[in-house]
Amino acid sequence: MKIVFFDIDGTLLDHEKSLPASAKKAIKTLQENGVFVAISTGRAPFMFKALREELDIDTFVSFNGQYVVFENNVIYQNPLFPEEVEKLKNHAGKQDTAFVFMNEQTMKSTVQNNDRVKEAMGTLKFPHPEQDADFYKDKEIYQSLLFCSEEEEHRYIGHYDKFRFIRWHELCLDVLPAGGSKAEGIKILMDKIGFKLDDVYAFGDGLNDIEMLQAVGHGVAMGNALEEVKKHADFVTKDVDDDGILYGLKHLKLI
């Protein structure tokens, strides 16, 4: 029994955030061949519900490993510590840094009409979240977004031992629990379901995919992946815009 994990942005979705026809067809063929197909992403579940439905995928690792679902059943949840979220939110506020809370159903912002939030979320085809600075107080928050540049990140990185910060946009960092990663989420799923390491494959392109590519039996970097990511892959396929998913799956003899 084999399983393939796919990152979303820059992997399943092209640079215009569209699903290439070749990728959709390849995934259908995978499923017809009896291979489990799963998503592994930094996104929240609500952010890729339509994609899951289009591809008939019911297994996923979301929030960079903090919320894991197998065949529509939640098997792992690892929320952020509320008191630490509050501390970081207050710190960000004093620095005029926008902050967004995310759970499995929605996201809320500490501010409204912020240019950095608009720009970063716009690259994901999402609007600026509604403002609710107290959203975290009675919700489980699995990931937060901190809208700071690389020049400003020193204000936060190294000051919070309960958090891990991963940059996904020039103006934004993912905030997740220390030790959290896509790799940890995948390991939990592998242990729960009983997949053997050599039967586990993963495709990715970003910095948050490095540990995932290292953790599985066969790690594939997209042709458009960052050079640092490619160093940790067993194979580099073609660009997402050049049928990279299809090419990679054929190379692996999975289709």
For residue 60, what are the CA distances in angstroms to 39, 141, 167?
5, 18, 21
* Rounded Cα gap, residues 215 and 174, in angstroms: 21
Beta strands in 44-161 (DSSP E): 60-62, 67-70, 73-77, 99-102, 107-109, 143-146
Q: Give the residue from 160, 200, 228, 224 showing the smallest Cα distance to 61.
A: 200
Tokens of 160: 């919070």
- Backbone phi, then psi, for 180, in 5-degree steps? -80, 145
* Rounded Cα gap, residues 145 and 38, in angstroms: 24
Q: Is 134 a catalytic residue?
A: no
Strand 143-146's sheet: what is its strand order?
107-109, 99-102, 143-146, 172-177, 163-169
Residues 7, 9, 14, 205: which is the catalytic one?
7
- Provide the CA 74 distance to its chain's centre, in angstroms: 17
Rounded to 10 degrees, what is the CA torsion of 140, 113, 175, 105?
A: 30
CB atoms within 10 A of CB 122: 11
CB atoms within 10 A of CB 226: 15
Catalytically active residues are 7
